[in-house]
Structure 1
Amino acid sequence: MCSPDYVNKCRGKNVKKKLFLWLFVLPLSLFLLVQLYFLVQILWWINHNPSSTSFMRQQESVLQEKDPKFVLKHKWVAYNRISNHLKKAVIAAEDDGFVDHDGVDWEAMQKAYEKNKKKGKVVSGGSTITQQLAKNLFLSGERSYLRKGEELIITYMLETCMDKERILEIYLNVVEWGVGIFGAEAASQHYYGIGAANLSAPQAARLGVMLPKPRYYDKNQGSAYLQKRTDMILRRMNYAELP
């Protein structure tokens, strides 16, 4: 027969084991399952086009609260059906080191960190095209360091599983370009009445500049800053390197 002290000791060990299970093992298992889900999705998208993204669904839900019949403008087009002008404009405006980095521009992130520290909140992310794609595909629009950490994990999955051309193709087809407007084809039709394959250099430069604030510039096409920045990106496009 076990002594009371021995029984209490055994119970104490069981409590510690259960506590360890609940506080460490289960959260870790859940975290790994989520990462596995992301990885499986990314592997599927190597050869299949995503029909929508987390961000697209969020925006559609918001817009349908105001108008239940609202439908996003979005049409997928192949990489070779997107003007090289637009590819260069987006790289020049958003991520001029796209073809060289491993998914993260650490210098840009350091600058963003210093800016956020100065402001006392997260106002800048220093994100590359791959990081933006990771966020758009899977994550919310929340700005936090925890979400940034998840973004980095997905970014490395994308860079490991896909080549740069595929990453850019998906990005150009799912990125937001205005209120309810997603992807290069929908943006080209909305702003210029032409397909993405037929964009001129000035038209492409203007679309590239809109990306940080697409909904704002959708409603403020006459912005002086938009035109000034467009002229600058137009010049930088000559040096943009495509994958």
Structure 2
Amino acid sequence: MSQRKKSLAQRIRFWLTSIVLTVFGIWIAGILLFSFLPVPFSAVMTERQVGAWLSGDFSYVAHSDWVSRNEISSWMPLAVIASEDQTFPTHWGFDVQAIQSVLDSESGQMRGASTLSQQTAKNVFLWAGRSWVRKGLEAMLTVGIETVWSKKRIITVYLNVAEFGEGIFGVEAASQRYFHKPASRLTMSEAALLAAVLPNPVRFRADRPSGYILQRQQWILRQMRQLGGEGFIRQHKL
């Protein structure tokens, strides 16, 4: 290899290493800062906004209004836990049974069943889509936020960055948009309806719920009662 080619290869390695270290540094700083500061925007919000601009849709605005946990009705964290991650208060970031079922499956394909901690890590720091690289980074970030953040902080951030509709991010923006009131006044039924659309908030509508969404809402309500209602949230200090 000529001296010029060696020099070029060294420069490429240097810049790649610098980029990787910078990204990891930003993630570490984000985990530390967002343990007590509001999250101004998430990676998913940025991806949606840039995607809209690139497609020529300049009317799209990714909107979120940060609120503290005390400004969110206790029915809302209960609804998302009942809907998506019932072991959230006690696990360390991962659903071990779901991971084992993926490993045991013949296809080996990645599936859902991500915990709320994993979804928070993905929404705040990563891009959408499915790949083993992204899942690996998601796992690393999940360990980070589970180590630094409390469960109450994780659920607060999740509820503030979750996508509830076209350009609608966070429970406060969703509550104002769909029910014309602050998130602190959401009822049990309203919280369950918002949680029902989370698997696909672009396809499913909280303001025009399909029969499937209404059925899912009722299932979530039953799960919320079985968990113990608001007593579950008080018990786990969420």
Give distance in 1, aligned partners of 2:192 and 2:205. Answer: 15
Q: Does residue 1:170 correspond to 2:157, yes or no?
A: yes
Q: Which runs of 5+ in 1 are unaligned?
A: 1-10
Give distance in 1, aligned partners of 2:14 and 2:117. Answer: 31
Give distance in 2, aligned partners of 1:167 and 1:229. Answer: 24
What is the TM-score with the length of structure 2 in the denominator?
Answer: 0.84
Give distance in 1, aligned partners of 2:48 and 2:33. Answer: 24
Give the aligned partner of residue 199 of structure 2.
212
Q: Which runs of 5+ in 2 are unaligned?
A: none
Give distance in 2, aligned partners of 1:61 and 1:21. Answer: 33
Give the aligned partner of residue 100 of structure 1.
90
Report the alpha carbon displacement of residue 53 of structure 1 after superposing the two structures with TM.
0.7
Give the aligned partner of residue 150 of structure 1.
137
The answer (yes or no) to whether the contact 1:206–1:227 under 8 Å persists in 2 is yes
Give the aligned partner of residue 8 of structure 1.
none
Instruction: State which structure, 1 or 2, has the greater radius of gyration over its C-alpha atoms.
Output: 1
Report the alpha carbon displacement of residue 90 of structure 1 after superposing the two structures with TM.
0.7
Structure 1, 75-84 or 213-222: larger mean CA deviation = 213-222
Give the aligned partner of residue 179 of structure 2.
192
Mark the CA change 1:220 to 1:193 in structure 2 (over 3 Å): closer, same or farther: closer
* Aligned-residue RMSD, C-alpha: 2.9
Mark the CA change 1:111 to 1:28 in structure 2 (over 3 Å): closer, same or farther: farther
Give distance in 2, aligned partners of 1:164 and 1:222. Answer: 30
Map 1:83-162 → 2, pairs under 5 A: 83-112=73-102, 118=107, 121-122=109-110, 124-162=111-149
State which of 26, 43, 46 in structure 2 corresponds to 1:37: 26
What is the TM-score with the length of structure 1 in the denominator?
Answer: 0.82
Give distance in 2, aligned partners of 1:196 and 1:69. Answer: 25
The answer (yes or no) to whether the contact 1:91–1:98 under 8 Å persists in 2 is yes
SS in structure 2 at match of 1:177: strand
Aligned length: 228
SS in structure 2 at match of 1:71: coil
Give distance in 2, aligned partners of 1:86 and 1:32. Answer: 37
Mark the CA change 1:72 to 1:113 in structure 2 (over 3 Å): closer, same or farther: same
SS in structure 1 at match of 2:164: strand
Between the aligned residues of both structures, percent identity stands at 36
Give the aligned partner of residue 214 of structure 2.
227
Give the aligned partner of residue 44 of structure 2.
55
Report the alpha carbon displacement of residue 70 of structure 1 after superposing the two structures with TM.
2.9
